[in-house]
Chain A
Amino acid sequence: MTVTEDRPAAAGPAGEIGRDRRRKEDQRLITGRTRWTDNITLPGMLHMAMVRSPFAHAKIVSIDKSEAEAAPNVVGVFTGADLGESQGVLINAWPITPEQVAPVHLPMPADRVSFAGEIVAVVVARTAAEARDAAELVDVDYEELPAALDLKENAEDKVLAHPDLGTNKSALWVFDSAEAGTGGDVEEAITKARADGVVVEREFRQQRLIPAFMEPRSVVVDPTGEQNTMWSATQVPHILRFALAATTGVPESKIRVIAPDVGGGFGGKLQVTPEEWLTWCLARRIGKPVKYTETRSESLMAAHHGRDQWQKLTLAAEKDGTVTGLKVELLADLGSHVAVVGGGVPVLGAFMFNAIYKFPAYHFACQTVLSNKAWTDAYRGAGRPEATFGIERMMTELADVLGVDPLEVREKNWIKHDEFPFTTVAGLEYDSGNYEAATEKAKASFGYDELRAEQQRRRDAGDPVQLGIGVSTFTEMCGLAPSRVLGSLDYGAGGWEHASVRMLATGTVEIVTGASAHGQGHETAFSQIVADRLGVPFENVEVLHGDTQIAHKGLDTYGSRSLVVGGEALVKAADKVIEKAKPVAAHMLEASVDDIEFSAGTFTVRGTDQGVGIGDIAGAVFAAHDLPDGMEPSLDSEATYDPINFNYPHGTHLCAVEVDTETGQVQMRKYTCVDDIGNVINPLIVAGQVHGGLVQGIAQALFEEAVHDESGTLVSASFVDYLVPTAADLISFDVEHNTTPSLTNTLGTKGVGEAGTIASTPAVVNAVVDALRPFGVDDVVMPCTPERVWKAVHAKDGAAADGADPTTGAAAAHFDTQDTADRSAGQEGAGE
């Protein structure tokens, strides 16, 4: 099948879809009329402050609360022993294997802490400042235990993160194409390639990152009233309500969760957190509203972290560059507990290492490992950035081994546009795409050939500032997710989304979505979709979300799912409104229902100029004075949509960097991306998603890392040390599109929220490495700090290219020699 240009557009030329509407959300946000959770103040509200462990692993010997309890306006001081089972327990929704080993996850343990930052006591006081002051007075006596801090050593159980479990190994998840019947045997492919082809072996470190949303997490619980209400800065109000009910014994119907204005998430707010559980518990126990807002330091230390893998990759190919097999062996650090998605994050990458390439054989094995660090979970991309980094680095290394352009080896192996739908070696069916077109467009915009020529000139001239060009031709799976697929992977819930459309008597339309936005622009994009579908003005559509009493049903926002799953639910609900309105229109127009047509907000009788607008019908249904016999007087409709497949955005990202070989400084020079995200609802919002996504991926490549010292203390626990890039660190981007509509949803859309992050990290690192190839460098560990880059350059000082077999460990920079310690920059400079 080829690209479906003939697919009917979702809207006419005058339609809302495809228009760069300015956002409805902006007015309140640019004038400060915001409702962040921390803005909420209720009568008699009390405030919490946490006492957190300074040790990564320690026994709690005793806790002396007396001085804190005597402090001014302190209402109470509570420990894990005080709260016991009343605090509930935190859940892991995705046990990736039946045998998965997971410690019980109490919000506040009574006997032992297992990461630095874990809560050991809570102070409740009349003001936040008094709570904080009193928290300083809680005297905790710890007995420090050996801490499990190194991922590779932890996988060998050298130090146990939880001694009672007897092992750090949580679960081993394996996919093998020969066993699954989706491809051949990878060991055979590797053996053959060792004999008469090419084998590329590399080991890559996915450093630990911190989502670092701008709004610190905050939670308010009001225990008064029949339904107890929790406001939380969360991405997942519905999952939060479900989990509270499931683990505290409070009926779900007695719990209302509201996610008001939420300041970013990027996966970091899809957790169910100890702070939420403790606020819930203590507000109910004391009988007064209670608020907790974390400091930035607490957020960086104790909100979940992301990534943190070792990736050992083996790629087999023929001598002409045709790939024949890919073997992926991962170690993934779960942190101290298995978080809500937990081990499911690296497993999501299992389907993406093969990417856009036609690997005939594939093996993926991921060992998840417990440690004494903060738990890890989804961070923008969740599993797919790790996979994309791995394969896109490997394809570039294959090109280097073969001595060809990195785009050439990709083109040789990618799925051609006329081969869709294509069932991959990982078992997914890609519905659409055009990798050739996106790449051609990107090369032209980027000036690929000119930059290559400049690179050669600089190399020839021995310029101290070298130019590097990086390529990433990524795809991803998004729109989490078909419920059957989730079920087959042992995920604890489904992946549907719910929507309703309410026709108000005055002609305005309320739409309710179970997707819970926190910056994405749902209010605007969803208004555009419904405005087109129902033929009503954009301004007349109001989007309601993020409150379980209003949006009673939903599965929230993550995994680039809101538009492709939530948007589709809206389309289906709107279509039901139209169907319900048809008999009324027929009645009003004195025609047969079979003769009623609907277009652009008006119902007409076929072959006549008689018509009635949908707003008039809504008014007539509200009055209900003269409806068809037996008709229910309502047009309001609901739909729950479960996707049939993921969708597969892709794109070609090209990055040029200038690397100062004398200082190690990397400067972004140019970044061009051509993404295929299917049909675009709002190009302005899409561009914004891409820009922000790119920067988070660039930040992984160049700036960010959660660094722990040898005792397990997070030393990058403030914005002084955790380098979220600033405007001055970055450049403007060239963002373009090529469009092949998705065939898995009505609107032909694909996800976009994570694409930039997934694609950009390998593009940047490939560029840095490309700049340093003349120095014999074939890898730089992330983040590519000036120190690491400088060391990589100088590691080979005076040494001519040794001509070693590039498939051996000695030539693969980090294969066996990597210092695995997670400490500060530098020691891993590429090339020993």
Chain B
Amino acid sequence: MTRINLTVDGAKVSDDVEPRTLLVHYLRETLGKTGTVVGCDTSNCGACTVHLDGKSVKSCNVLAVQADGADVTTIEGLAQDGELHPVQAAFHECHALQCGYCTPGMIMQSVDLLKDNPNPSEDEIRVGLEGNLCRCTGYHNIVRAVQTAAAGASEGGQA
């Protein structure tokens, strides 16, 4: 077992973990952060996407020990003070989710995408979300949601 100390959704946590433990399993099983989910076993689906020190990662592709000392944000830590993050709000507004299983990862990836590129084209959004699979929406409304969030942010910036 290896001791790790990290911050998850603003809270400091400290646990002994098996070195082989994946970050997603640590989040779900040790911390009860079940908002982050597992959708595959080959790092293809992106359902487990979280932010590690502000960058999106597939948490099935990171060992918990690699997150030692890091700041992790999951879907459960995205809304602040009861206010939805603009990307969360845009997903709701644009009906960008149906079953909702891919949604945590899709939102976390979209947030990261917009941080890198605040005014993406449709193609840039599609390529930026290529690592996240959705089976319900056909991506149409997910693209709209990211566009809507981007437009909202740029309006906010000009105001």
A296-B39, A732-B122 known; A691 vs B100 contact (CB < 8 Å): no
Interface presence of B93 (CB below 8 A) = yes
Interface presence of B151 (CB below 8 A) = no
Q: How far is the CA of A32 from the CA of B84 in the complex (A)?
A: 12
Interface presence of A592 (CB below 8 A) = no
For chain A, residues 15 to 50, give those with C-beta under 8 angstroms from any C-beta of chain B.
22-23, 25-34, 36, 38-39
Interface presence of B8 (CB below 8 A) = no
For chain B, residues 115 to 144, give those with C-beta under 8 angstroms from any C-beta of chain A.
122, 125-127, 129-143
What's the minimum C-beta distance from A379 to chain B, rounded to whole angstroms?
12
Residues on A with C-beta less than 8 A from B59 are none
Contact B129 A726 (CB under 8 A): yes
Residues on B with C-beta less than 8 A from A519 are 98-100, 136
A/B pair count, beta carbons within 8 Å: 173
Q: Contact mask A684-721 → B, CB, 8 Å, 1/0?
A: 11011101111110000000000000000000001110
Contact A26 B44 (CB under 8 A): no
Contact A214 B45 (CB under 8 A): yes
A32-B104, A34-B100 known; A719 vs B93 contact (CB < 8 Å): no
By secondary structure, the B interface counts as: loop
Q: How far is the CA of A215 from the CA of B93 in the complex (A)?
A: 23
Contact B44 A688 (CB under 8 A): no
Interface presence of B52 (CB below 8 A) = no
Query: Which of A31, A33, A687 has the most chain B CB atoms inside 10 A of its CB?
Result: A31
Query: Which of B18, B40, B122 has the most chain A CB atoms inside 10 A of its CB?
Result: B40
A216-B39, A691-B140, A718-B41 known; A39 vs B130 contact (CB < 8 Å): no
What's the minimum C-beta distance from B54 to chain A, rounded to whole angstroms?
19
Residues on A with C-beta less than 8 A from B47 are 214
What's the minimum C-beta distance from A734 to chain B, rounded to whole angstroms?
10
Interface presence of B56 (CB below 8 A) = no
A719-B42, A719-B44 known; A730 vs B138 contact (CB < 8 Å): yes
What's the minimum C-beta distance from B103 to chain A, rounded to whole angstroms?
5
Contact B36 A32 (CB under 8 A): yes
Q: How far is the CA of A34 from the CA of B103 in the complex (A)?
A: 11
Interface presence of B76 (CB below 8 A) = yes
Residues on A with C-beta less than 8 A from B97 are 26, 29-30
What's the minimum C-beta distance from B124 to chain A, rounded to whole angstroms?
10
Contact A297 B138 (CB under 8 A): no
Interface presence of A733 (CB below 8 A) = yes
A264-B136, A688-B136 known; A36 vs B92 contact (CB < 8 Å): no
Contact of A214 among B34, B78, B102 (CB under 8 A): B102
Contact A23 B95 (CB under 8 A): yes
Contact B101 A32 (CB under 8 A): no
Contact B100 A31 (CB under 8 A): no
Interface presence of B63 (CB below 8 A) = no
Residues on B with C-beta less than 8 A from A769 are none
Q: How far is the CA of A687 from the CA of B33 in the complex (A)?
A: 32
Contact B134 A214 (CB under 8 A): yes
Q: How far is the CA of A756 from the CA of B135 in the complex (A)?
A: 13
Contact B44 A718 (CB under 8 A): yes
Contact A34 B35 (CB under 8 A): yes
A32-B75, A718-B41, A719-B42 known; A215 vs B101 contact (CB < 8 Å): yes
Contact of A32 among B34, B38, B133, B137 (CB under 8 A): B34
A23-B92, A30-B107, A214-B134 known; A728 vs B127 contact (CB < 8 Å): yes
Q: Which A residues fall within an 8 A CB radius of B?
A: 22-23, 25-34, 36, 38-39, 129, 212-216, 261-264, 266, 295-297, 518-521, 684-685, 687-689, 691-696, 718-720, 724, 726-728, 730, 732-733, 756
Other 16 A-B pairs with CB < 8 A, given A32-B34, A32-B76, A732-B140: A22-B95, A25-B100, A29-B100, A30-B75, A31-B78, A214-B102, A215-B99, A264-B98, A518-B99, A519-B100, A688-B136, A688-B141, A691-B141, A720-B42, A730-B139, A733-B138
Q: Which B residues fall within an 8 A CB radius of A?
A: 18, 25, 28, 33-42, 44-45, 47, 74-76, 78-79, 84, 88, 91-93, 95, 97-104, 107, 122, 125-127, 129-143
21 pairs across A/B with beta carbons < 8 Å? A26-B100, A213-B99, A214-B133, A215-B37, A215-B99, A216-B39, A263-B99, A264-B136, A297-B41, A519-B99, A520-B98, A688-B137, A691-B138, A691-B139, A691-B141, A692-B137, A720-B44, A727-B134, A728-B129, A730-B138, A732-B122
Sorted nearest first, the 7 A-B pairs with minimum C-beta distance are A32-B35, A519-B99, A29-B100, A263-B101, A695-B138, A719-B44, A691-B138
